[in-house]
Amino acid sequence: MSTASDTAYDKIRRHLLAGKVQPGERLTEEHLADVAGVSRTPVREAVQRLERELLLMRTPSNRIVVPDWGEDEIDEMFTLRQMLEGHAAERAATRLSDAQIDELERINAELHEAVAPDNEQRQADVARFLDANRRFHEAVTQAAHSPRLVQILAMLVEQPVVLHTAREYSVQDLKQSARDHDELVAAFRARDPHWARAVMGSHLRRAFHVFADAMSALKRDPK
């Protein structure tokens, strides 16, 4: 995070994901420059990045707005992830080294730890869970050795972090996710592309429902 562009990207992204702005709200570059503490030039670059991740959009007259995601858009997002990460897993299965698979296992151990029953602070756990989860999926994507795939998936993995602090997830759901990852590792060890793709597919489809349910719960009762 050395350059001002990156700072801007990071700060604005946090600002958005923290839910400081309502969907549909209009933002000015200058305002965002204040938020990020840099001039408009790097802000414009950051906004472009956020646009391509669809965290921001432009009105017909090039004003910056926060898009609101409907259930359909979220469904579509997970469907695309299912296809693309399934493909990534398939490729990764024949390209991962033993050491890399070990690394995946290590990351997933963190996931299990984060949802272990003897752990008290649910809040911190979810954050850690989500972080490890992201790293796991990134590692798989990287292992597919496809620059395009990396670039495309980067624009799909963003999630409103409203849900990152969430008590909305059931421990059971999180545990199931960790078990999915276990099976994925097993598929990798077996170097079985089709198994890997299938596991990744069902994993993400379940994740969609967990996410969608949490989201609608939040909308019903927005504490």
Q: Is 117 in the site for DNA (CB under 7 A)?
A: no
C-alpha span between 95 and 143 (Å, rounded)? 7
Q: How far is the CB of 48 from a copy of itself (least distance, A)?
A: 6
C-alpha span between 169 and 9 (Å, rounded)? 28
Which residues, 6 to 65, sit near DNA by CB under 7 A? 27-30, 38-42, 44-45, 59-64
Q: How far is the CB of 50 from DNA (least distance, A)?
A: 13
Work out whether the CA dihedral 22, 24, 28, 29 comes out positive or negative.
positive
Residue 59 contact among DNA, a copy of itself, none, beta carbon within 5 to 8 Å by kind: DNA
Q: Which residues bind a copy of itself (CB under 8 A)?
A: 41, 44-45, 48, 52, 54, 73, 76-77, 79-80, 83-84, 87, 146-149, 151-152, 155-156
Cα–Cα distances in Å, from 117 out to 58, 122, 174? Answer: 45, 10, 11
Tell me the residue type at 12: I
CB-nearer residue toward DNA: 6 or 105: 6
CB-nearer residue toward a copy of itself: 42 or 108: 42
CB-nearer residue toward DNA: 5 or 177: 5
Q: Which residues lie below 8 Å from residue 82, measured CB to CB, with a gap of 6+?
A: 200, 201, 204, 205
Tell me the residue type at 141: T
DSSP 179: H
Interface with DNA (CB under 7 A): 2-5, 27-30, 38-42, 44-45, 59-64
